[in-house]
Chain A
Amino acid sequence: MDRISVRTLFFGVYGELAARREGSAELAADSTVADLVEALRGPGGLDWLPERVVVAVNQGYAEAGTVLSDGDEVALIPPVAGG
Chain B
Amino acid sequence: MSKRANDRVRTWITRESLDDFGRFENIVREIGSVEDGALLFFQGRVRRTNRGRAVSRLRYEAYGEMAERELAAIGHEALERFDVGSVAAAHRVGDLGLGEVSVAIAVTSAHRDAGYAASRWIIETIKVRLPVWKHEHYEDGESHWVGAPPLEAGTSSGGSRFE
**Chain A residues in the interface with B (C-beta under 8 A):** 9, 11-13, 16-17, 19, 48, 50, 56, 59-61, 75, 77-83
Is B131 touching A17 in the complex (CB atoms < 8 A)? no
Q: Is the CB of B149 within 8 A of A50?
A: yes
Contact A11–B63 (Cβ < 8 Å) = yes
| Structural contact, B151 and A78, CB atoms closer than 8 A | no
Q: Which residues of B contact A (CB under 8 A)?
A: 44, 60-63, 65-66, 69, 91, 102-103, 123, 126-135, 145-149, 151, 155, 157-158, 160, 162
| Residues from chain A with Cβ under 8 Å of B91 in the complex | 82
Please state if B127 and A59 are interface contacts (CB–CB under 8 Å). Answer: no
List of A residues within 8 angstroms of B44 by Cβ? 83
Query: Is A12 in contact with B148, judged by CB distance below 8 angstroms?
Result: yes
State A68–B149 Cα separation when bound (angstroms): 26
The 6 closest A-B pairs by CB, nearest first: A12-B133, A82-B132, A79-B147, A13-B145, A59-B66, A13-B148
- CB-CB under 8 A from B130, the residues of chain A are 80, 82-83
In the assembled complex, the CB of B99 is this many whole angstroms from the nearest CB of chain A, namely 16
**Would you call B148 and A83 a contact (CB within 8 A)?**
no
Summarize B's interface: helix, strand, loop or mixed: mixed
In this complex, which of A79, A80, A82 has the most chain B Cβ atoms within 10 angstroms of its Cβ? Answer: A82
What is the CB-to-nearest-CB distance from B16 to chain A, in angstroms, rounded to a whole number?
17
Known contacts A11-B63, A17-B157, A19-B157, A78 near B127 by CB under 8 Å: no
Q: Which residues of A contact B63 (CB under 8 A)?
A: 9, 11, 56, 59, 75, 77
Contact B157 A59 (CB under 8 A): no
Give the residue name and chain of the B residue nearest to A19 (CB).
Answer: B157
Query: Which B residues are in CB contact (< 8 Å) with A19?
Result: 157
Residues of A within 8 A of B102 (CB): 82-83
Q: Contacting B133 at CB < 8 Å: which of A11, A50, A59, A60?
A: A11
Q: Bound state CA distance, A11 and B130, in angstroms?
A: 13
Are B103 and A81 closer than 8 Å at their CB atoms? no
Q: Are B157 and A78 in contact (CB under 8 A)?
A: no
- In Å, the complex CA distance between A81 and B44 comes to 12
Pick the contact of A78 from B60, B103, B147, B160 — CB < 8 Å? Answer: B147
> In whole angstroms, how far apart are the Cα atoms of A69 and B157 in the complex?
33
**Docked-complex contact B133 and A13, CB < 8 angstroms:** yes
Contact A79 B134, beta carbon cutoff 8 Å: no
